[in-house]
Structure 1
Amino acid sequence: MTDTGDTDRLSGPEARAWLLAFADRISRGADDLTDLDRRAGDGDFGWNIDTSLGRARSALQDIDAVHPAEVFRTVSDTFLASGGTSGPLFGLWFGRVAHGPEAPWTVADMATVFDTATAAVQRLGGAQIGQKTMVDAMAPAVQALAGSAQPGWREALGEAAEAASAGADSTGGMVARKGRASYLGERAADVVDPGALSIAWFFASAADV
């Protein structure tokens, strides 16, 4: 990939703006996430992720982020301190993303960190594509980033957002094989997985930066 300059790299302030936009999107959609989780889980997903990102918002206001790794590390800490099954998974995911370079990130850097993070979530939860989990949105986003020919992070994340959204939508026709929804079998087959939808919103929020 050709290096076209820092304008094509994701900086710390831009990463912080992205995470804050994600927090806003979750806040607006928390009730929808809770409704989905109520139909296929224990009904606390929307509240848990909204609460975690509320803490992340406060924490992000207190840091002068020079590089994206610092931003994702801060958000990871807030999720790891939260309850529910989603907190540790999001905490792990953001924490692995935080292992990226302590410098503005290229598209290739983003592809690497999100691939590493998604693999970590899959190892922890044992989830594969097609089992109605957040991995159904994570994995396509990673594939889009890895295959992107875009030099700039905005355009590449736009492709990742489209892939994640399609992956999340696909969970609406799946019988869950992992998590609490797996106990309901066919009864929850038409319900979009709220974790996957949240991941789609995460990548889509980059467009608001």
Structure 2
Amino acid sequence: MNHAQQAAKPETHGYHLGIAEAGKCFALKGDHREALRHYREAIRLAVSSAAPEVFFRHYCQCVLESLELTGQFGEVIEYCEKADAYYEQIGAQRKLHGRDHASILERLGMIYAKQGEREAAIASLEKARTLAGSERLALTEQVYGWLRRGMVPDVARLTAAQRKHQYFTVRAEQVDARRARPLAADSGANRRGSNPFDISD
């Protein structure tokens, strides 16, 4: 890699970070359609520029949050199940993998709980608890306890618990609007219902 390419890397990363930040601003305003459009473009740029994996993981987390908050549970479940299978295949090669795997299962358990699928929720949260080990997941512990006691928390109560335990990454105090780089207005190509993880154009 020459000096020009090395210099371009931070600039490129700053660009997709700015697009993702704009997506977060839209999400905080409740415009998750625009948020998803921005996250999708940030993922595409991160992949095409061979950005460190941490960017891709973070942007995917933002996508999952917007999907969850708009009730698109099927897509979240599909992603989480694939991620669970992937982590099962590679094993806990690093401590980070174990934490990521546990958080994926926590998310899956929360979605099942929101859908009223008690047994599936308990199974996912139990697995998350095992993977977390001594690094307890406070939200998992609370919701797992509710379900084991036979409680049936509704979506509002579950979402309130998520906010209490800072489950959502996209929070006002974590977003810097000054870094946001909004995309041009949507031409209609990014329709509601398109796969937000599809970065092929």
- Please indicate the TM-score interval, normalised by the length of the shorter structure: 0.3 to 0.5
Larger Rg: 2
Name which structure has the greater RCO, CA cutoff 8 Å, separation 6+: 2
TM-score, normalised by the number of residues in structure 1: 0.37
TM-score, normalised by the number of residues in structure 2: 0.38
